[in-house]
Amino acid sequence: MTRIPPAEQLGQLAEQLAMGARQGTEAEDLTSTLVRLGARKLIEELLEAETSDILGGRGRYERRHAGQQGLRNGYKRRHIDCAEGRLEIEVPQIRGVQGVCQPALWAALQRRTDVLERLVVEMYVRGLSTRDIEDALQELGGEGVCLLSHASVSRLSEQLWEEYEAFSERDLSGFDVVYLFADGVYESVRQQAGLQQAILVTWAILRDGCKVLLHMSLGSKESERDWLEHFRSLVRRGLRPPLTVTTDGAPGLIKAVETMWPEAERIRCWVHKMRNILDKVPEQVRPELKAHLVAIRDAADYKQGERLAEEVMEKYGKTYPSAMQCLRDDLAASLAHLKLPVLHRRSIRTTNLVERSFEEERRRAKVLPRFRTEKECLKLVFAVLWRASARWRGVRFSELEQKQLENYLETRKRLQQADQRLADLSQREKATA
């Protein structure tokens, strides 16, 4: 009979427990047990993956090819010794390899208790409360030994707050920001009687193409005052004016951007824009109108985008005036991405990057109906977004894109000079009138 790997056994047991939940198993006991299984399963899956790598990528029952060494040789029950206890783990064994051969992860787990500590922090980030984590670290046997004490678990979760504070005060003068993005997410806080608090977030694409999370703060709402305070923190820490700023249509946010960086090109998020327009027409009309909006969004340049927008507004203006007024509102900002390098337009025309991160954050936070404190809210949201930002893919800045940006800046400079001359002329005419 083929032996099932320990990690898969734990997965099957978890499914059985989930079935028990549907049949009325106590929720508290079920959650505690599932989390404990999850901690063990995570480690054992990582050990299995590393064992396959050691064996040249071979799966559990794949034959050796010529020249390959090593065979799987079952499992050995081992434990991780920590200051407060131990955790039993099934470690894959390997034979037929010269010298000592074992997964490096297991060696690290044996040498360093901070691996377990980082696991605790990650469990918190995944939405578990401190009490859930304490339960998870209780051994399944009857000895009642806890791998980490209550004080240790609390201390580790508090490290997230220390990380957030350091992040909020870090020097930004070394960031060569080209494209800036701003958006907000709302969360409920128990101390505020369930009222939602706005979490304000800014991130950027740098000159080298990297995407970075810049700042995160808490506001009562997405008001102009809240956003100005958020942006002033960026400037105070050395952030230089960006070339563009991408936002949704929140009035307070738009005013704050225009106040703080009046020379920056403001870009209106197309996801929000299209959603707002399509919500104002009947469902049967939406596919046709959406095709027109996509054509405007993907126009070859700014002038073509303007022309296509005028055609759409003329076509639907009498039938759906509200939708067309929505298209007309802030049209220049909606088309601003068409002034910039073609390969960058998809990345800068929406706030999708952080929206996807918010979705991940909401999956983490949904196990908590609302946060107990503002601190708890910020701590968890920061941890999720900060870890998500480490996986953000960069944007290409080739010589072509650099040249296109230089041309854009030169064109903008000439237009600003022309506008200034016209303004000066108007002032002189008024003075002599």
Find out whether 257 and 243 touch, Cβ atoms under 8 Å: no
Q: Which amino acid is at 384?
A: V
Residue 353 dihedral angles phi and psi, to the nearest 5°: -55, -55
Least confident of 23-37, 177-191, 255-269: 23-37
pLDDT in the model for residue 197? 75
pLDDT in the model for residue 309? 96
CA–CA separation, 322 and 179 (whole Å): 31
Judge whether residue 373 has pLDDT over 60. yes
pLDDT in the model for residue 214? 95
Shortest CA distance to 285 belongs to which of 312, 307, 267? 312
* Structure confidence by residue, pLDDT tens digits, 12-47: 655 555 555 444 444 444 444 454 555 566 667 767
* Structure confidence by residue, pLDDT tens digits, 334-359: 999 999 999 999 999 999 887 776 66
pTM exceeding the 0.85 threshold for the entire prediction: no
- Of the two residues 51 and 408, the one the predictor is more confident about is 408
Q: Please enumerate in sequence order all residues whose Cβ is within 8 A of that of 242, keeping only pairs 6 or more positions apart, or say none.
A: 177, 178, 179, 180, 204, 261, 264
| HSE toward the beta carbon, residue 131, CA cutoff 13 A | 4
* Structure confidence by residue, pLDDT tens digits, 86-126: 567 777 777 666 544 555 655 555 544 444 555 555 555 55
Arithmetic mean of pLDDT, 203-223: 89
Q: Is 144 left (phi over 0), alpha (psi -120 to 50) or beta?
A: left
Q: In which band, very low, low, confident or very high, does the pLDDT at 392 lie, cut at 50, 70 and 90?
A: confident
Question: Averaging pLDDT over each range in 73-87, 213-227, 300-314, 386-400, which range is the top one?
Answer: 300-314
CA–CA separation, 417 and 422 (whole Å): 9
- Of the two residues 134 and 394, the one the predictor is more confident about is 394
Burial class (CB in 10 A: 0-12, 13-18, 19+), 148: buried
- Of the two residues 51 and 228, the one the predictor is more confident about is 228
- Which tokens in the block code for residue 109? 């787990």
Burial class (CB in 10 A: 0-12, 13-18, 19+), 73: exposed
Q: Please enumerate in sequence order all residues whose Cβ is within 8 A of that of 225, keeping only pairs 6 or more positions apart, or say none.
A: 252
14 to each of 29, 38, 77, 180, 267, how far by Cα in Å? 13, 8, 20, 44, 47
Q: Are strands 196-206 and 177-188 parallel, antiparallel or unpaired?
A: antiparallel
- Of the two residues 156 and 186, the one the predictor is more confident about is 186
Judge whether residue 141 has pLDDT over 80. no
Judge whether residue 154 has pLDDT over 70. no
Judged by DSSP in three states, 217 sits in strand
